[in-house]
Amino acid sequence: MSNSSSINISDLGTPIANWPNGGCEIDNFFKAQNLIFDIMLCGDFAGAASVFAETCSGTCYTDYVVGDGSNYANAYFDVASVRVFSYFTGSDENAALPLSRGVSWTFAAVTVVAGLLIGIVV
């Protein structure tokens, strides 16, 4: 994926499915969304006993996840950017190439530096 600020829809090819909004008021069913970055400390790869034992002692979950939550007080990860594409029906000089029905995709880049460790369930 390139770092361009717009999407060129001509590069996407022909759609293979279409679900028009004909009989459904989509805004009644979908509201604002949340984007969650989840770090699986003892996930399929990192928590596998054979992989974990190569660099760490003990067991991943028992020794490094369960216990004092302050162990993660300074845990963070950097996300260089998040690309968000959404429909835009008005006029905007920054909008990308128009689609066939006068609808354009717009682009927003969000830079995130999170000071959170999300998704640990003890």
Q: Is residue 13 part of a domain?
A: no
Which one, of 115, 120, 119, lies nearest residue 75 by Cα? Answer: 115
Tally of domains in the chain: 1
* Average confidence score pLDDT of the chain: 63
Reported as a pLDDT band with limits 50, 70 and 90, residue 15 is low
The yes-or-no verdict on residue 54 having pLDDT over 80 is yes
Query: Looking at the domain assignment, is residue 61 inside a domain?
Result: yes
Residues 3-29 as b/e (b if ≥16 CB within 10 A, e otherwise) read eeeebeeeeeeeeeeeeeeeeeeeeee
Strand, coil or helix: what is 25?
A: coil
Structure tokens of 65? 């996840």
Cβ atoms of 111 and 81 within 8 Å: the answer is yes
Per the structure, the complete domain to which residue 85 belongs is given by: 33-114
- Stated as kind and residue range, the H or E segment containing 81 is strand 77-88
Residue 89: inside a domain: yes
Amino acid at 78: D
What pTM did the predictor assign?
Answer: 0.32
- Within a domain: 1: no
- The answer to whether position 122 is within a domain reads no
Residue 73 inside a domain? The answer is: yes
Dig out the tokens for 77 from the structure. Answer: 């990860």
Residue 67 CB: number of other CB atoms within 10 A? 10
Residue 17: which pLDDT band, with cuts at 50, 70 and 90? low
Indicate whether 67 belongs to any domain: yes
In a domain, 47, yes or no: yes
